[in-house]
Amino acid sequence: MPKSLFQLIREAPYRGLFLGESLQGFAVAAIATGMIINVASSTGNAALAVGVSAALSLAALAVSPLVTPALAKYTFFQSLVWTYLLAAAVLVLASPLFFLDIGTLPLSFALVFILGATNSFHSPALYATLDWFVGKENLPRAISSVNLRSGIGWVLGPIVGGLMAGLYNGAVLMLIVAASYVAATLPYLANRALFAQRQAELKARMTSEPDCVEEAVEDGVVAYAGHNPCQCMQAPVTNSWSFLTVLKVPKLAFTIAIFIAIYFFLGAFTSLMTPWSIIDLGLAKMMAGIVITVRSVASLPGVVVITPIQERLGMGRTLVLSTIALCVAALAAGLSHQWGLMAAIAVAVFGLIFYPLTNSLLQSLITIVFGEQYRVPGQTLIAFSKGVVAIAYLGVGVLANHIGVNAAFMITAVLGTITIVGMRLFTRSRWDEVMTTYNENVKSLAR
């Protein structure tokens, strides 16, 4: 009988894995926040600050063709442990350079790039082996726990990152994060015998099922792409660009277009939130971390709020109304010239809607409309789109340098709203086709 989420977390061996991965999630959020804050504070350049976030996605795109072959060649145990130890070693080596203020700007980009690359190898291996810890019957619950542990890092990471970003250029923060990476390997080391047994079973199957390792990796890749809520950490893992062929199907291409329009135009605010806090509002580094934390805390109950609305109003209306609400929140934040009640409410409302919208509702829309036939390319497209959009935010950062950070994200929010409302009004037949397919497939799955 499947266990509840909290039963899984309380019991070994998954308890150790959950704690270790929660610690690592906090560490990545803290170091990414710290680096972005330091770059924004030292340069006053929004594009460079956004570029630090983009480095994570650029790393995912760069190593994408290597991930599946590497995971198939080496054991999952090696991939899981080596990636974390490599990240820890890089952080330890970088810390003295930041302490001495030697090349901190280029090193900030290089450091975040390496962490993004190691995550791209680690996360699919993690998802591919989750059932080794919990059993197949508990796998859906284990995947759901990812949102919980990510939420822990999502809230605590920005606070610690903002608090420690200014302490010796983040050198102390790097050592703390390195220690967190090392601690995160302990659950894997403690279960080395389990890994050896299951890896041997997998290898034995290769005589009759030559592709079984690749299939296990693929399952991990799909689960990772579909359940990782952090926009900067999506890894479009693939050996070829064949997944793009699904865009030849008009209905599927239109579904992805909806996702990209919302994710890019409305998500520009979240990509510019740290530069906005420091450059426009003139906040100290620690307070900039608090701003990000307000957004993160507000996002946690978002799914609970937005799901009943979607069930009552329908997917199409919810997408349009959510887009309008996000636009209003971005405009309210942009018109605020100090961190006061209006700005805090705007940031909270944005967090409450944006993350559940992009990582729950739109995720559900794509998954259900694409169906089982296009499951793998659909999830890969989501990951690929997030990676490309995160890099495209560089253009918004350049725009922010010329017209102001608040003006840049207000303009993109308005353009995003016009785009979504326009798609609803002027491509009504395609929009209705997508929403009808979604509703019919939902009913089919419920039978």
Q: Confidence class of residue 142 from pLDDT cuts 50, 70 and 90?
A: low
Averaged pLDDT for residues 60-76: 76
In angstroms, what CA-CA distances link 176 with 21, 27, 28, 107, 220? 15, 8, 11, 18, 29
pLDDT for res 230? 40
| Segment of 145-154, 203-212, 284-293, 420-429 carrying the highest mean pLDDT | 420-429
pLDDT for res 132? 74
Amino acid at 78: Q
CATH for 243-447, options being 3.40.1280.10, 1.10.540.10, 1.10.10.10, 1.20.1250.20: 1.20.1250.20
361 pLDDT higher than 90: no
CB atoms within 10 A of CB 321: 14
Distance from C-alpha of 7 to C-alpha of 279, rounded to nearest angstrom:
45
228 pLDDT higher than 50: no
Question: Cβ distance 336 to 342 under 8 Å?
Answer: yes
Distance from C-alpha of 406 to C-alpha of 335, rounded to nearest angstrom:
8
173 pLDDT higher than 50: yes
Distance from C-alpha of 381 to C-alpha of 247, rounded to nearest angstrom:
9
Distance from C-alpha of 431 to C-alpha of 257, rounded to nearest angstrom:
11
Amino acid at 99: F
pLDDT for res 17? 75
Distance from C-alpha of 377 to C-alpha of 123, rounded to nearest angstrom:
18
236 pLDDT higher than 50: no
In angstroms, what CA-CA distances link 146 with 48, 151, 296, 428? 30, 8, 15, 36
Q: Confidence class of residue 8 from pLDDT cuts 50, 70 and 90?
A: low
Higher pLDDT, 120 or 182: 182
Percent of all residues in the chain with a pLDDT value above 90, rounded to a whole number:
33
13 cis-preceded (ω within 30 degrees of 0): yes
**Range scoring the smallest mean pLDDT among 72-86, 132-146, 412-426:** 132-146
Domain range annotation of the chain: 1-239, 243-447
pLDDT for res 412? 95
No. of H helices and E strands in the chain?
21, 0
Question: Cβ distance 63 to 120 under 8 Å?
Answer: yes
Averaged pLDDT for residues 341-361: 89
Q: Confidence class of residue 223 from pLDDT cuts 50, 70 and 90?
A: low
Query: What's the burial of 433, exposed, middle or buried (CB within 10 Å: 0-12/13-18/19+)?
Result: middle
Distance from C-alpha of 366 to C-alpha of 257, rounded to nearest angstrom:
11
Question: Cβ distance 212 to 205 under 8 Å?
Answer: yes
CB atoms within 10 A of CB 312: 9
235 pLDDT higher than 50: no
227 pLDDT higher than 80: no
Q: What is the pLDDT of residues 290-332, one digit of tens each?
A: 898 888 888 878 767 777 888 888 899 999 999 999 999 999 9
Distance from C-alpha of 388 to C-alpha of 308, rounded to nearest angstrom:
31
Distance from C-alpha of 87 to C-alpha of 124, rounded to nearest angstrom:
17
Averaged pLDDT for residues 384-393: 82
Higher pLDDT, 225 or 419: 419
pLDDT for res 217? 65
Nearest-CA neighbor of 25 among 271, 292, 238, 232? 232
C-alpha angle 363-365-371 in degrees, rounded to nearest 5: 100
pLDDT for res 241? 59
Asked if the domains at 1-239 and 243-447 fall in one CATH topology, the answer is yes
Higher pLDDT, 73 or 395: 395
Amino acid at 106: P
Question: Cβ distance 259 to 419 under 8 Å?
Answer: no
206 pLDDT higher than 80: no
DSSP string, 7-38: HHHHSTTHHHHHHHHHHHHHHHHHHHHHHHHH
Query: What is the architecture, at CATH level 2, of domain 1-239?
Result: Up-down Bundle (1.20)
Query: What's the burial of 247, exposed, middle or buried (CB within 10 Å: 0-12/13-18/19+)?
Result: middle
Distance from C-alpha of 327 to C-alpha of 417, rounded to nearest angstrom:
7
For 50-75, b/e burial (b = at least 16 CB within 10 A) is bbbbbbbbbbbbebbeebbebbbeeb
Strands (E), 148-208: none
pLDDT for res 232? 34
Greatest alpha-carbon span in the chain: 66
